[in-house]
């Protein structure tokens, strides 16, 4: 049989020999008695007992929390101090806490003994600290997507601040060949640094990623960045047209309210002649995955310069127009890192221009994910059909540009 509120109260006071603080007492009855908070609720319950002469007064620290709530103000002041010292800019936050596991165990024991189903002590601590910090600093508590998470540890008496990343979206154009999109560790030393890489640990001194992220990390006073591109082009391929969409994730930014217009200018100045980015905007975390997904089903336009082994008849050249569906087995050059499978991609249009009898310029409009170099060379018949196959002569892509994506 379930105990009445009054019996529960008398029993809890008995089991703790009166040594229970107002908050811990009040919390146990938060579902039974209305009130402005556990502190007030606890005081009210104690008063009720005084009147019924069943009270045992508190002579020692709280059986449940060990009078942890007395340290609350101190902890809040420490948190505010650390946020100011570290000069962390934010507009919203969330509080998490850790307490001695013994506290949780003792509280659970009371809950079990009296069949009580209420929030645990950590929820109350988080809420109380959140309320105070919100008041002191005029910042909002945010549960779903906080700028920072304040982890307050009463067990070790420490504060840990987790700064969540910011995400910035833009598009880049790569104006020269020879720069990979993202960092490429030296394949000899695995980025430790060796003679081959001139002790840089990298295969290429510059990447699109670094040209963009260095200034962004500086502006946000972050500790690093991650580059998420909507697909990628090969190192020797230019990225032209409107450019390729990317999301830059800046880790642990102390400043989130950065001036994107100014940052764009700084980056474009720094990367002048190599990489150029368009207008930047702040986006949600989920854009990362969305742009990666979308890169697969967009169409692209390439410009390819093709060297032929033998001259080809005009009538044969015209047959390029009839190419529609390409079946491609994973190219030899990437087979060491990609699964071996056959993919099917559509070509919307191929236009050609003869530069000389053995040199063609092609404009290829096709579905994303088609390997252009292999479409041209046939990649030992792994591309069906292929330009070399149709022309019945060797064909090689000597220059490639992405003219546009997302068409
Ligand atoms: Zn307590
Ligand atoms: Zn190396």
Q: What are the per-10-residue average pLDDT scores of the chain (407 residues)? A: 81 93 95 90 91 83 95 94 94 96 95 92 96 96 95 93 97 95 89 89 92 97 95 92 95 96 98 97 93 79 96 91 93 88 93 94 93 95 94 95 83
Task: Among 246, 278, 294, identify where a domain stops.
Answer: 294
Residues contacting residue 334 through CB under 8 Å, at least 6 positions apart: none
- CA 119: distance to chain centroid? 31
Same domain, 363 and 348: yes
Place of tokens 């390729």: 244
- CA 11: distance to chain centroid? 50
Q: How far apart are CA 181 and CA 204, in angstroms?
A: 10
Name residues with Cβ closer than 5 Å to ligand 2, which is an ion: 186, 188-189, 194, 196-197
236 is catalytic: no
Measured in Å, residue 101 CA sits from the centre of ligand 1 at: 14
**Range of the structural domain that residue 336 is part of:** 299-405
Measured in Å, residue 1 CA sits from the centre of ligand 1 at: 27
Residues contacting residue 157 through CB under 8 Å, at least 6 positions apart: none
Q: How far apart are CA 11 and CA 45, in angstroms?
A: 13
Q: Would you state the pLDDT for residue 296?
A: 66
Contact 403, 241 (CB under 8 A): yes
Same domain, 184 and 286: yes
Name which of 291, 216, 229, 221 is nearest 260 in CA terms. 216
193: domain CATH number is: 3.30.70.2510
Same domain, 50 and 73: no
Which secondary-structure segment (H or E) carries 11? Answer: helix 5-15
Same domain, 187 and 285: yes
Beta-bridge mates of residue 344: 327
Contact 62, 21 (CB under 8 A): yes
Say which of 67, 71, 153, 234 is annotated catalytic. Answer: 234
Contact 240, 399 (CB under 8 A): no
Same domain, 274 and 233: yes
Q: How far apart are CA 175 and CA 206, in angstroms?
A: 13
Q: How far apart are CA 297 and CA 283, in angstroms?
A: 21
User: What ligand is nearest to the CA atom of residue 19?
Assistant: 1
Same domain, 249 and 336: no
Q: Would you state the pLDDT for residue 51?
A: 81
Measured in Å, residue 399 CA sits from the centre of ligand 2 at: 28
For CA atoms 190, 195, 201, 206, give the dihedral sign.
negative
Instruction: Go through the chain and tell me how many residues it has.
Output: 407
Helices (H), 221-352: 260-270, 287-294, 314-318
Q: Would you state the pLDDT for residue 297?
A: 67
Same domain, 33 and 108: no
- CA 197: distance to chain centroid? 30
128: domain CATH number is: 3.30.2130.30
Beta-bridge mates of residue 84: none
User: What ligand is nearest to the CA atom of residue 24?
Assistant: 1
DSSP type of residue 137: H
Same domain, 177 and 280: yes
Q: Would you state the pLDDT for residue 311?
A: 94
Same domain, 175 and 139: no
Q: How many domains does the chain fold into? A: 4
């Amino acid at each position: 049989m379930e105990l009445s509120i009054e019996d529960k109260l008398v029993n809890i006071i008995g089991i703790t020999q009166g040594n229970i603080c107002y908050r811990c007492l009040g919390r146990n009855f938060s579902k039974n008695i209305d009130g402005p908070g556990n502190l007030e609720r606890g005081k009210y319950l104690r008063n009720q007992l005084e009147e019924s002469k069943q009270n045992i007064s508190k002579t020692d620290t709280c059986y449940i929390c060990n009078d942890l709530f007395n340290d609350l103000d101190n902890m809040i002041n420490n948190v505010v101090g650390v946020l100011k010292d570290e000069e962390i800019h934010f507009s919203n936050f969330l509080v998490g806490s850790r307490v001695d596991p013994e506290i949780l165990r003792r509280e659970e024991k009371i809950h079990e003994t009296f069949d009580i189903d209420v929030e645990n002590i950590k929820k109350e601590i988080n809420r109380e600290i959140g309320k105070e910090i919100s008041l002191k600093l005029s910042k909002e508590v945010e549960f779903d997507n906080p700028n920072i998470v304040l982890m307050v540890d009463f067990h070790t008496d420490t504060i840990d601040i987790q700064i969540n990343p910011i995400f910035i979206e833009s598009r880049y154009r790569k104006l020269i060949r020879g720069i990979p999109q993202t960092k490429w560790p030296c394949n000899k030393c695995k980025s430790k640094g060796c003679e081959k890489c001139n002790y840089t640990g990298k295969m290429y001194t510059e990447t699109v990623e670094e040209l963009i992220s260095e200034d962004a990390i500086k502006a946000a006073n972050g500790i690093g960045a991650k580059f998420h591109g909507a697909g990628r082009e090969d190192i020797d391929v230019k990225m032209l047209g409107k450019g390729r969409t990317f999301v830059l994730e800046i880790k642990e930014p102390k400043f989130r309210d950065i001036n994107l217009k100014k940052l764009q200018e700084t980056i474009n100045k720094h990367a002048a002649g190599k990489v150029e980015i368009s207008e930047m905007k702040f986006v949600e975390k989920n854009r990362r995955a969305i742009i990666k997904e979308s890169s697969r089903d967009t169409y692209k336009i390439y410009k390819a310069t093709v060297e032929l082994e033998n001259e080809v008849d005009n009538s044969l050249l015209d047959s390029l127009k009839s190419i529609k569906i390409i079946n491609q087995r994973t190219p030899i050059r990437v087979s060491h890192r990609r699964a071996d499978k056959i993919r099917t991609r559509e070509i919307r249009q191929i236009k050609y221009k003869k530069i000389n009898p053995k040199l063609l310029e092609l404009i290829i409009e096709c579905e994303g994910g088609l390997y252009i170099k292999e479409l041209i060379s046939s990649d030992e018949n792994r591309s069906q059909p292929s330009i070399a196959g149709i022309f019945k002569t060797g064909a090689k892509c000597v220059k490639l540009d992405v003219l546009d994506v997302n068409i």
